[in-house]
C-alpha cells in the first residue's frame, strides 16, 4: 500500500521566516495531495491541496509544490506568524477516498 | 451548519467497560471514517463506511465495532475497553476531501 513519509517531525522558526515541510510517497498512481493544519484541541483542517496535473499551487502565504518524478511534495509557509504554530499533516490518495494515507505530522512552532 | 460533530468530547473509562462514540454530519456525505491519533503515529484508520448500511475495516480495526444505520451518523463502539485504546478519536466525512470532527479524547484506566 501507499506509504507517506513526512519530515521533519518538529520545526521551530522565528516569526517572519519561512517554513518548509516535505513529504514523500511510494505509489506513483497517487494523484491527490492535501495538507492539513491541526491546532491544539481541534481536528485537522484542510489548508491547501494539489492534484497531479499541477506542479505548484499558492494561496496567500502558503504554497505546495509537487515533483511527480521524484514522488515528493512540499508545503511552504512564508512570513510565518505565531498563529501558524500547529501540527501539519500531509496526505496522498489515488482516487480512493478511504485510501487517504497520512504522514505522521510535523509540529511547527513559530516564536515571536 | 454544524459540519461534523462528535460526542462526547472527553471520556474516562475503566478497563473492560464499553462505550459508543457518535459522529454526526449534516453535509450529506456518503463516506464516513473513524481514525485514532496517537503521539508519533499520525492518523490511523479504524473503520470506514461508504454509505448507509455499509462498514469496512481500516488499518487498526481490532477491538472496535461500527455501525451506519443512518446516513448522517457513524457510531464507533468499544465493547471491552483496554488501556491500549487510550487515544484521541477523530471522525471524518467526505470523499477525496476530508472534513474532521473536533475529536474525542478517551482515557482507559
Encode pLDDT of B36-76 as tens digits.
999 888 899 999 999 999 999 999 999 999 999 999 999 99
Interface check for B42 against chain A (CB to CB < 8 A): the answer is yes
Whole-number Å distance between alpha carbons of B57 and A4: 20
**A chain contacts of residue B100, beta-carbon cutoff 8 Å:** 36, 43-45
* Sheet of strand B19-25: strand arrangement: B4-7, B19-25, B73-78, B65-67
Report the half-sphere exposure of A31 (CA within 13 A, side-chain side). 6
- Could you read off the pLDDT of A58-104 as tens digits, one per residue? 999 999 999 999 999 999 999 999 999 999 999 998 866 567 889 99
Q: pLDDT tens-digit profile of A23-59?
A: 999 999 999 999 999 999 899 999 999 988 889 999 9
Q: What CA–CA distance (Å, rounded) separates A38 from B80?
A: 30
Cβ B42–A102 below 8 Å, yes or no? Answer: yes
Q: Among partner residues A42, A89, A95, which is closest to B43 by beta-carbon distance?
A: A89
- Which residues of chain A does B49 touch, with a Cβ-Cβ cutoff of 8 Å? none
DSSP class of residue A99 equals G
User: CA A37, A38, A40, A42: dihedral to nearest 10 degrees?
Assistant: 130
Residue with cell 471522525: B91
Residue B90 near chain A (CB below 8 Å):
yes
Number of residues assigned to chain B: 109
Are A36 and B98 a contacting pair at CB < 8 A? yes
Of A32, A43, A93, which is closest to B103 when you measure between CB atoms?
A43
Amino acid at each position: 500500500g501507499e506509504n507517506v513519509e513526512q519530515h521533519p517531525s518538529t520545526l521551530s522558526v522565528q516569526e517572519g521566516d519561512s517554513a518548509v515541510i516535505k513529504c514523500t510517497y511510494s505509489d506513483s498512481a497517487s494523484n491527490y495531495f492535501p495538507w492539513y493544519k491541526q491546532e491544539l484541541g481541534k481536528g485537522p483542517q484542510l489548508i491547501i491541496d494539489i492534484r497531479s496535473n499541477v506542479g505548484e499551487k499558492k494561496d496567500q502565504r502558503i504554497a505546495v509544490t509537487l515533483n511527480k518524478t521524484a514522488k515528493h511534495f512540499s508545503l511552504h509557509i512564508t512570513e510565518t506568524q505565531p498563529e501558524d504554530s500547529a501540527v501539519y499533516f500531509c496526505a496522498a490518495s489515488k482516487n480512493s477516498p478511504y485510501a487517504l494515507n497520512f504522514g505522521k505530522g510535523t509540529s511547527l512552532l513559530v516564536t515571536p | 451548519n454544524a459540519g461534523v460533530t462528535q460526542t462526547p468530547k472527553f471520556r474516562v473509562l475503566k478497563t473492560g467497560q464499553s462505550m459508543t462514540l457518535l459522529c454526526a454530519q449534516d453535509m450529506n456525505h456518503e463516506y464516513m471514517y473513524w481514525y485514532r491519533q496517537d503521539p508519533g503515529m499520525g492518523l490511523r484508520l479504524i473503520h470506514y463506511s461508504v454509505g448507509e448500511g455499509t462498514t469496512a475495516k481500516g488499518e487498526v480495526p481490532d477491538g472496535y465495532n461500527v455501525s451506519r444505520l443512518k446516513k448522517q451518523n457513524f457510531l464507533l463502539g468499544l465493547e471491552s475497553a483496554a488501556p491500549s485504546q487510550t487515544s484521541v478519536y477523530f471522525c471524518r466525512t467526505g470523499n477525496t476531501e476530508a472534513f474532521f470532527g473536533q475529536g474525542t479524547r478517551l482515557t482507559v484506566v
